[in-house]
A and B are shown apart, each in its own frame.
Chain A
């Protein structure tokens, strides 16, 4: 097949669809009912270049109309809702069959489902692992790829995992012999749930592994969720300072805040205040004359107070924007060297 279906293929397919929907009728009645249909479809097709289904509706609904007009009620007596459902089902089955055949052709099998059937034992093993993770792993945080059971022991974890896998394989072999439709549908539903859980487990696992990596590489200064995005230094006279660098007691630069949180990126990162108009944070616009002196209560707004007591930063104001490379451990009074 070269992708496009010929007109006679389309007619044959439509005919087969109508016939399939009338399978519950006795063969002679059905044959008589369908006697004129091939000619009719050929005539419709020759008059109308569009798809048959657009003109005549789905094969299932055509069959239902034919059946109703001929006075042949089906055993199921499809109401309008039921007829619509069967239409949808027939359409879905049709799409599934086409995808199955087309997908199979891509990988050199008659049907995709045939190939997937070969992979079934692999799925049983994977299913056992998913079961293990869901039952024993998701209840507490996954710290390893294998859920550690019984006080975080590898050995017990491995034994439990092996048990789950063996159980899943045993169950898969046994369920393969099931013939009752409710059993087969139940099995499909279970596999679907576990398949979805497999995706969840994969995401959870990658998240936990990343979290673990981040925890191992976290910076020593930790603010948890309360990390400041900027530092706004204010002198003892209540005047805001600018071009300020921060150092800890050992003379290491304290790079607090996030330069990317500013509306526009600062020219030099970690030169405080980093953001162009930080005083808006106090609810006072910078052009307001009083903005320069925030009053006696201004010390409450000084951000470095959130720094943990273990790392007392010494504010080192620099008069210009120039870099002061030498850390000065003693705290300087900033009043005299305020610029601007």
Chain B
């Protein structure tokens, strides 16, 4: 294998990333996509974000509401609900322990930092 494929990594953590982005502030699809890209996940695909939002909503982790806008179309905003927050906390823990395991693995002697 040539190197770590970031798109493969993204697939595993995109749910968590979307939940995390929505923790501070509600957002509509394109806005969430932009926040993820700004945060550094530049390779995230448009369709992946929209699909993920739909699945999280379907699983009862998000609520939606429509905001009329003066200049453009009405926008569907997504917000975390209680289940979403719980999920974010749990998944966050799993990620942290996974990340620290990987860190330890990489910090072992013999592996270049």
Contact = CB atoms under 8 A, between A and B. Distances in A.
Nearest to A39: B73
B9 interface: no
Interface stretch (B40-48, B82-90, B105-113): B40-48
A71 interface: yes
Contact of B47 (A32, A35, A65): A65
Given A37-B50, A69-B47, A42 B55 contact: no
Interface residues of A, number: 22
B19 interface: no
A35 B76 contact: yes
A13 interface: no
A50 to B, nearest CB: 14
A284 interface: no
Contacts of B30: 39-40, 43-44
Contacts of A33: 50-51, 54
A62 B46 contact: yes
B80 interface: no
B34 to A, nearest CB: 9
A20 interface: no
Contacts of B48: 65-66, 68-69
Interface in B16-60: 28-30, 45-55, 58
Contacts of A44: 30, 46
Q: Describe A's contact surface by its main secondary structure.
A: helix
B51 A68 contact: yes
A328 interface: no
A63 interface: yes
A69 B14 contact: yes
A70 B46 contact: no
A141 B72 CA distance: 74
A69 B18 CA distance: 12
B50 A69 contact: yes
A223 to B, nearest CB: 65
A153 B46 CA distance: 72
Contacts of B53: 36
Nearest to B49: A69
A62 B73 contact: no
A3 to B, nearest CB: 29
A56 interface: yes
B29 to A, nearest CB: 5
B54 A56 contact: no
Contact of A56 (B28, B47, B58, B73): B47
A19 B104 CA distance: 46
A63 B48 CA distance: 10
Contacts of A63: 47
A70 B55 contact: yes
A32 to B, nearest CB: 7
A35 B30 CA distance: 13
A40 B76 contact: no
Interface in A38-92: 38-40, 42-44, 56-57, 62-63, 65-71
B36 to A, nearest CB: 13
A199 B45 CA distance: 48
A70 B75 contact: no
Nearest to B15: A69
Nearest to A37: B50
A62 B75 CA distance: 21
Contacts of A35: 76
A63 B51 CA distance: 10
A39 B75 contact: yes
Interface of A: 32-33, 35-40, 42-44, 56-57, 62-63, 65-71
* 6 pairs of A and B residues whose beta carbons are closest in the complex: A69-B51, A65-B47, A70-B51, A66-B47, A69-B48, A66-B51
16 contacts: A33-B50, A36-B28, A39-B30, A39-B75, A43-B30, A56-B47, A57-B45, A62-B47, A66-B51, A68-B48, A69-B47, A69-B50, A69-B54, A70-B50, A70-B54, A71-B55
Given A35-B76, A37-B50, 5 more contacts: A36-B76, A39-B29, A62-B47, A66-B47, A66-B50
